[in-house]
Amino acid sequence: MTGNETSELSLTIIEMLMNSGAMAKIVLFILLLFSIISWAIILNKFFVYRNAKREDGHFLSVFAKSQSLNNIYNFSKDLRHSPIARVFLTGYHELHLFQELSKTESESRGAKSIASETILTSRDLKGISIALDKAINREVERLSSRLDFLATTGSTTPFIGLFGTVWGIMHSFRTIGVKGSASIGGVAPGIAEALIATAAGLLAAIPAVIFYNYLSTKIRGFATRMDDFSNDFIYMTEKNFLR
């Protein structure tokens, strides 16, 4: 296809859109709105996940090398995008809380003060584990926010486009009945106009479905890494702080 033919085809499509009926324009506007919002979500998630993965890597590197939880805590406070860092902060706060509660109980019983690093029990460890699980669920929910719109776009926009197509074909047959002519020249423009709605619906749905599956896979990867880190944190706590 030559450049002139491509230009003429583009002009023809634009002319059909400009001359289409009110219902067709409403359908196309709805599909355009779905598509714009979907691409905005896709691009936003792309940058969010990229930053999260980069900061997760930095945090895990520091966590593996550092011997001090306080140093890890101070480092993780500056990580705004890392879900694993936020899970660690939850675990660190719970660890500190249980240490303080256990120390207070020991002092209230008149027991000899024990260093705060050694006063955890298996019950405290269970509480920390539950808090970590809740933190992971919150992070997965945060990472998954607005992805349901992509699923909705992928499942509904083809039918919206199909509705526009059916409406356009009905209008074409009505024109045939009024004019009493069924020549291809008389109905072809209306049929072509109607089929544009189906094409628009597919153009909105296909990227939404592809990226919904792609981003869902990314979320499962984040969830797996957070679960692994949670197990590592519990093991470290049990080894170093359990009475």
- Tell me: the pLDDT tens digits for 213-240? 999 999 999 999 999 999 999 998 888 8
Contact between 229 and 60 under an 8 Å Cβ cutoff? The reply is: yes
- Mean pLDDT throughout 196-223? 95
22 confidence band (pLDDT: 50, 70, 90): confident
CB atoms within 10 A of CB 109: 7
The CA distances from residue 47 to 40, 112, 143, 168, in Å, are 11, 53, 12, 40
189 confidence band (pLDDT: 50, 70, 90): low
- Angle CA(122)–CA(127)–CA(131) in degrees, nearest 5? 145
Sign, CA torsion 104/106/107/112: negative
Summarised one tens digit per residue, pLDDT across range 113-172 is: 444 445 788 888 999 999 999 999 999 999 999 999 999 999 999 999 999 888 878 777
pLDDT of residue 25: 84
Instruction: Give the three-class secondary structure for 86.
Output: helix
pLDDT of residue 19: 64
CA 5 – CA 24 distance, rounded (Å): 25
pLDDT of residue 117: 47
pLDDT of residue 11: 44
CA 179 – CA 176 distance, rounded (Å): 5
The pTM score is 0.82
CA 69 – CA 71 distance, rounded (Å): 5
CA 122 – CA 120 distance, rounded (Å): 7
Contact between 164 and 198 under an 8 Å Cβ cutoff? The reply is: yes
Mean pLDDT of the chain: 84
Q: How many residues can be counted in the chain?
A: 243
Residue % of the chain over a pLDDT of 90: 53
pLDDT of residue 221: 96
